[in-house]
Structure formats: C-alpha cells, structure tokens
Amino acid sequence: MLISFLLCTAFAGPSQSATTEPTLQEEQTTEAVAGVAYPPALVHDIVVIVRQARDPKSPERERLAAALVKLGTIAIDPLLDLLERKRVPVLHEGQTPQTLSLYQREVLLAALRELGPERVLGRLDRRLAERVDANRRLAALTLFGEFGRREQLTKLFELAAPAAGEPLDRDLRDALRAALGAILAREPLAVPRLAATWRSIDVALLSTVIFTLGDVHDGRGLELASDVAFVHPDLLPVVAAQVAVIGRSPDSSVNQHAIELLRASRANASPSLGAAVVRALGMLEDEESIQDWIDLLADESEALRSAAHWSLMHVSRLEYAETPDAWQVWWDSEAAWLDEHYEPLLERLDSADASVVTAALRELANRRVRRHEIAKEVARVLQSPRPALRVLACQTLIELGSVDVLTELSLALRDDDEQVALAAWRALEALSGRSLPADSLEWDELVVSREP
C-alpha cells in the first residue's frame, strides 16, 4: 500500500520538543469539525502524503492523490484546512513548514474531485456557515472554480465582494476571475445565467466580470458587456478594451446594438479611449466605420492610427502599410464590387440551377467585406432540397468564418442526410473553436445567449 510505504519511509514520529512549529493536529485541538476533532492518525497520513508532493517533476502526484482518496471522505475537512492555510505543517525534527505549492495544491484538488464534488461543496457550505475569513473565502473561490456550477455564480460574487466602504481585495479579485472563468468555460449555459443576473452583482466586481468575459473569448458575453457599459458609462474603457477579445456574438442584433453604442461613444472620447473603441468596432467588423478608419490613418494620435490600421487589417485580412492611399483604393474597389455584383450574387443563391448556386457560393466564399451578412444569406442554402448544395453551404460558411450562423448550423446537425450533418458538425467546430461530439447537446447550448 502506498500509504504504508510513505509512513515507513517518510515518518520518524512527531517530536514536540524538536520544533516549535505546531502540527496540523495541534492547530485543530480547539476546533472540532462535525462535533469531533481530527483523528491523529488521519492527520499524520495526510501530512506525510502531501509533503511528498513537493517535487514538480515527481511522477508520484497522481498516486499521491489516490492515496489521499483512500483515506475516505473523513479526509475532506483536513484537506480543506490545508487549502485554507496554504501551509503544510511539520511532523518531526529536521523538517521545516512548507508553504503549499502549486503541485501540492493540484494533488489536494485532484483528491477532492475524486472524493466527490457534491460532498466537498456541501462541506464547504457548512464551513462557510460556521466562519468566513479571507483565507476561507479564497479557498472557497478556488473550490467553486474547480467544482462549481452556474447555479452557484451568486456565491462567487458574495465571497469576493468588499465590505461597505472597503476597497476590493486584490487576491479575492484574482480568485474570482479564475473561478468565474473556469465555470464560464466549463458550462455553456453559464454565460446566459450571468447575463440574466449581472445587475445584482456588486458594482466593484463588474470590471472583473468584464475582464473574465475577455478571458473566455465567448462572444455571447458581448450583450452583457454592452449592457454594463450602457448602465455604467464609467466602465466603457474596460468594456471597449475587452470587446476586442470577447468578439462577436452569434446574435447579429446584439452585435449591431454594441456597434451603435460604441459609435456613439467615439464623438467626445480621448485618444486612448477612442483607440480602444476603434479596435472594438474593428473586432465587430463595423463596415460603416471603414472610411473613418482610413481617415484616422492621418490622425496626429499614434494610438488612433494604430487602432485604425489594426481594424482595417482585421476586416480585410490585408497587410497594407499604415497610410491612407492603398487602403482608399481597396475600399473604393470593394464599394464598387458591392454596388455591381452583391445583390445579383445573392439572388443566384435561390436559383433552381444547382450549377448557378454552386458558382455563387464559391465566389461569395472569398469575400471579407459584409461576410457576416453574406453568411446569413448562405445559410439559406441549408434548406436546399439538394444535399450536395447543403454540404457546399457548410463548407462556404467555414470559409466565411462568421459566428453569426452557429444557430443555423446547430440545426443542420439534425439533417436527414449524413454527409450534410457531418459537414455542419465540421463547420461548428471550425467556427466555435470547440471540439465536441456531433450529438452533444452542448452545440445547442453554445448558441443560447439568454436564459428562457
């Protein structure tokens, strides 16, 4: 048995006279959990095992976590104590206390996961009812990040919120960002839940929420970010900066609302805020701002010139120099193409002649300007009676790269034709950046922007 091996090789017996550093058991003598103190043998085994997990190169970490699991659910509270205290006590002369390392923390969390997230979170709730201090709040945020679900988002904000009149604690802020990001990344329906409840969040935490939406790169968070900027204009700089990484929403109406909000904020913005807004509009591909960006290439502000140049390159996928001339030629050419060819091409998508539809799809696949609008038009071909055209439509949507059609593609997963369903699945993976089985219910959840 691994535990027996560790006891034989790493423990020579506690010696109170050899050190003044209290052991974990000594620290717990006045704090009974569930009515009883920790059994000394249990404490001994836990500390021996955890101290073995110090080496970052140790191949034993998984086995050490398994050894903790073998101690049973009675080990949950002592393990939670170690997470809270962030310190591993000594056992005998010659040892020194250990600050809980990243690797030891990983072992503890792995063991707690195997002991059962519901049990762990249940114990955590009882501990929070008994006492709440800074260390316990930090440990709780870590555990909710590891095991929590969207229904527990409000607990995250309660744990991180500052007391009245107090500044936001930096450690709690960072722990909130990590925990919230983990839940948002893990649960597709967590973003809609957050959007439905954000108004109850302490205002001091809203910047952290917006930064976290940027961390997870989920465009469904754009609606929440826009609403926050509308209700709290002082947070517009944070929102504008994060929109550039949050990206577009799969809901075209949300994108348009955000674009209008950002455009309106450009009028009296400082150069630094204006640059952030220009980048945000570039990420959202606001084509009505393209001429404005070209004009900004001659602006005296380096920040505005750089932001305008980035936005032009993002929309066009071209890499012209940061000067207006070449960009103006490109934009004039695009405008002429749109005037002459755009509407006729869209009409050809409805042709009864499959070759006409095929040619139109292939030409549209290469367009960058209005690609999101084009993608919506191409998605109509997913209703074609010809499976080959439906497959080609999916392939065209991959080329266009627009998330605005995720809903249409998720519906196409149920197509009666296996090749069409397969093409839709590949398109969803390419556009969403997610790798999920074709029959996963998460595909439907990933396009939900609002709670029912």
Q: In which element (H, E) is residue 87 found?
A: strand 87-88
pLDDT at 25 over 70: no
Using pLDDT thresholds of 50, 70 and 90, give the confidence band for residue 23. very low
Residue 170, classified by CB atoms within 10 Å of its CB into exposed (0-12), middle (13-18) or buried (19+), is exposed
Instruction: Give mean pLDDT, residues 329-352.
Output: 95
pLDDT at 1 over 50: no
pLDDT at 355 over 60: yes
What pLDDT digit, counting tens, does each position of 179-214 carry? 999 999 999 899 999 999 999 999 999 999 999 999
Average pLDDT, the chain: 89
CA 230/CA 306 separation, integer angstroms: 26
What pLDDT digit, counting tens, does each position of 232-275 carry? 999 999 999 999 999 999 999 999 999 999 999 988 889 999 99
More confident residue, 411 or 19: 411
pLDDT at 402 over 60: yes
8 Å CB contact between 11 and 47: no
Q: Would you state the pLDDT for residue 408?
A: 94
CA 32/CA 23 separation, integer angstroms: 15
* Closest by Cα among 101, 102, 145, 88 to 121: 145
Q: Residue ranges of the domains in the chain?
A: 1-131, 349-445
Q: Which of 102-111, 123-132, 236-245, 441-450 has the lowest mean pLDDT?
A: 441-450
Q: Would you state the pLDDT for residue 56?
A: 65
More confident residue, 179 or 451: 179
Instruction: Give mean pLDDT, residues 21-38.
Output: 46
Using pLDDT thresholds of 50, 70 and 90, give the confidence band for residue 126. very high
* Closest by Cα among 397, 182, 150, 399 to 410: 397
DSSP H helices, 148-169, are 153-160
Using pLDDT thresholds of 50, 70 and 90, give the confidence band for residue 53. confident
pLDDT at 37 over 90: no
CA 31/CA 75 separation, integer angstroms: 15
What pLDDT digit, counting tens, does each position of 71-104 carry? 999 999 999 999 999 999 888 878 888 899 999 9
Using pLDDT thresholds of 50, 70 and 90, give the confidence band for residue 62. confident
CA 440/CA 452 separation, integer angstroms: 20
CA neighbours closer than 13 Å in the CB half-sphere of residue 14: 18
Q: Would you state the pLDDT for residue 452?
A: 55
* Closest by Cα among 171, 173, 182 to 215: 182
What pLDDT digit, counting tens, does each position of 320-336 carry? 999 999 999 999 999 99
Q: Which DSSP letter does residue 160 get? A: H
Q: Which two tokens stand for residue 397?
A: 């949507």
Q: Which DSSP letter does residue 54 get? A: G
pTM: 0.84
Instruction: Give mean pLDDT, residues 412-418.
Output: 95
What pLDDT digit, counting tens, does each position of 275-320 carry? 999 999 999 999 999 999 999 999 999 999 999 999 999 999 999 9
8 Å CB contact between 360 and 348: yes
